[in-house]
Structures are given as C-alpha cells and as structure tokens.
Amino acid sequence: MTEAILSIRDLKTHFQTQAAGFLGEKKVIKAVDGVSFDIAPGEVLSLVGESGCGKSTVGRTLTHLEKSTAGQALFDGQDILTLSPAQFRPLRRDIQMIFQDPFASLNPRLTIEQTLGEPLFIHGLAKNWAEARVLIAETLDLVGMAPEVMTRHPHEFSGGQRQRIGIARVMILKPKLVIADEAVSALDVSIQAQVLNLIKKLQRDSGISMLFISHDLGVVRHISDRVAVMYQGEIVEMGTKHEIFENPQHAYTRKLLSAIPRIKTRQVNA
C-alpha cells in the first residue's frame, strides 16, 4: 500500500461553551471526537455529512484555524498538530485550503494581481513582479481566466469567477494537499458543475491529494476516490466511492443517500 501523505489518528476537537445558567456550568461540545483516516498521494477523500456533524472542523483543525484537543495528524511523517504557528507557517505552501465563500476569502482591497502575487513572495517563489506576473498569468489560464483580469478587484466578478480566483491562489503554490471546504455549495447550481469539473481536472493533472468536504453526496460522487461519512463528530462508515454508493452499510449513510434528489420521469403511452 502506498504510504499516506496525511494520516489522522483519533483526532479530537472539543469546544467549551461560556458559563451560563444558575450553576454556571460549562458544556463541552465534541465537534470532532476520535476521527481517523489516511489520504494517499494523488487521492481524493471526501468527508461527507449533514451540517453540524464536524466535517468542516476537521479541515479547520488541520490548517490550524482551530486547535485540536487530542490526536495525531502526520503530514509527510510530521505531526502538524504539535507545531507552533511559526513552525506551521512554512507548511502552508504544501497544505492549502479552498473556502466555501469565495468573496469572504478574498481581500476586497487587493487587485487579483496582488492577491495571487502575495503568496508567491511570502514563500519565495518569485523574486520580483516580472516573475510573479508570468506565474499569475499561467495560473489564471489554468482556471479559465484571462490575464487581463489582474488589474480588477473581487467585487467585479461573479461568484463562480471569484471561486476560480480562489482556486488559482491555491494552485499557484503547487501544494501537496488541498482541503476544499464546501467549495461549490455557495455557487449557483448552473455554475457548480463548471467549478467542480475544474477542481477535478486540476487535481488529476497535478496529482495533488485532496480532502473534499461537502454535505452534497451528488457532488461527492463526482469527485471522490474514497468517501468517509461523518455523524455527530465521528466517522461511521468509510470505503471506496463504489462501496459507499452501491452498498452502504450504516443506516445514516443510507439516510443520506435517500435524500439525494432524483428526477422522476413519467412514461407517456404513444
């Protein structure tokens, strides 16, 4: 078996609420409670479940946006959960995240050129703006956008275009692992398929590994190699895409599958 690029063991992320009520007792919310999985090089593992199941917290914990309570997350053999912010900073080039809201994830004051150029200079991938503009133009072309958009600001684009820019900001660093958190759920249905196909093509062409987080099993079916089903902070079932969709074992997985919209056709007699 190929050695995993990411290996998660018994990951827990708990939150403690503020004291409230007569006794002032604090309540512990177990958003992620003992999650384990591996992602192989070049593999897409989808984490799927209803809103509030903890799937997004897994992604946020792996990128240090939330602090883990316990567990281990080995990335290229190094436990990233034990790293300080300064120690984790160099790994941000290799571990990138595509966020749900493409507008909120882009600085409205920066041009697209500045947005894509900033990570190049932070990680030492360009010495000057001449070099940076070449890389920016190449990456914009990869996501289906013309180099001429460099001088524009995020508010001048549609939701789908902004998500393409967000994807370009991730791909320009050539990461090893991409965590896509509900990457198409904020887009119009007519645009979702275009952006999803783009993500799949870029992932396949570059060979990057991906943790794809979504509540939409229809989307997951299109992009995944394997699927992990989360319920109340735990993974209740995991398997290949075929195993999950054709022969689900857990009742919760069957419930999710039954909720996928299906087009009903009515036969008309000639």
Per-residue pLDDT at 228? 97
Instruction: For residues 78 and 164, give the distance between their C-alpha atoms in angstroms, rounded to a whole number.
Output: 31
Q: At what angle do helices 189-206 and 159-171 cross, to 10 degrees?
A: 10
Question: Is residue 17 assigned to a domain?
Answer: yes
Question: Is residue 61 assigned to a domain?
Answer: yes
Per the CB < 8 A criterion, the answer to whether 202 and 165 are in contact is: no
Question: Is residue 152 assigned to a domain?
Answer: no
Which portions of the chain are predicted below pLDDT 70?
1-2, 19-24, 261-270
Question: Is residue 43 assigned to a domain?
Answer: yes
Which is it for the CA torsion 105, 62, 223, 144, positive or negative? positive
Instruction: For residues 93 and 173, give the distance between their C-alpha atoms in angstroms, rounded to a whole number.
Output: 6
Residue span of the structural domain in which 32 resides: 1-87+211-259
Q: What is the pLDDT of residues 40-78, one digit of tens each?
A: 999 999 999 999 999 999 999 999 999 999 999 999 989
Distances (CA, A) of 172 to 116, 122, 136, 168, 237: 7, 12, 7, 6, 34
Q: What angle do CA 189, 194, 200 make, to 5 degrees?
A: 120
Cβ neighbourhood burial of 20 (10 Å; 0-12, 13-18, 19+): exposed
Per-residue pLDDT at 230? 97
Question: Is residue 97 assigned to a domain?
Answer: no
Question: Is residue 70 assigned to a domain?
Answer: yes
Q: What angle do CA 169, 147, 109 make, to 5 degrees?
A: 55
Instruction: For residues 63 and 227, give the distance between their C-alpha atoms in angstroms, rounded to a whole number.
Output: 20
**The domain spanning residue 11 has which CATH number?**
3.40.50.300
**pTM for the predicted model, two decimal places:** 0.90
Sequence-distant (6+) residues with CB within 8 A of 157 are 149, 165
| DSSP annotation of 107 | -
Question: Is residue 10 assigned to a domain?
Answer: yes
Instruction: For residues 255 and 49, give the distance between their C-alpha atoms in angstroms, rounded to a whole number.
Output: 10
Per the CB < 8 A criterion, the answer to whether 73 and 62 are in contact is: yes
Distances (CA, A) of 2 to 6, 40, 42, 45, 107: 11, 7, 10, 15, 39
The count of C-alpha atoms lying within 13 angstroms of the C-alpha of 209, restricted to the half-sphere facing its C-beta, is 20
Instruction: For residues 194 and 164, give the distance between their C-alpha atoms in angstroms, rounded to a whole number.
Output: 10
Per-residue pLDDT at 186? 81
Per the CB < 8 A criterion, the answer to whether 149 and 129 are in contact is: no
Q: What angle do CA 41, 231, 18 make, to 5 degrees?
A: 110
Question: Is residue 205 assigned to a domain?
Answer: no
Sequence-distant (6+) residues with CB within 8 A of 176 are 5, 41, 76, 94, 95, 208, 209
Per-residue pLDDT at 189? 82
Overall domain count for the chain: 1
Instruction: For residues 192 and 83, give the distance between their C-alpha atoms in angstroms, rounded to a whole number.
Output: 36
Instruction: For residues 178 and 265, give the distance between their C-alpha atoms in angstroms, rounded to a whole number.
Output: 39
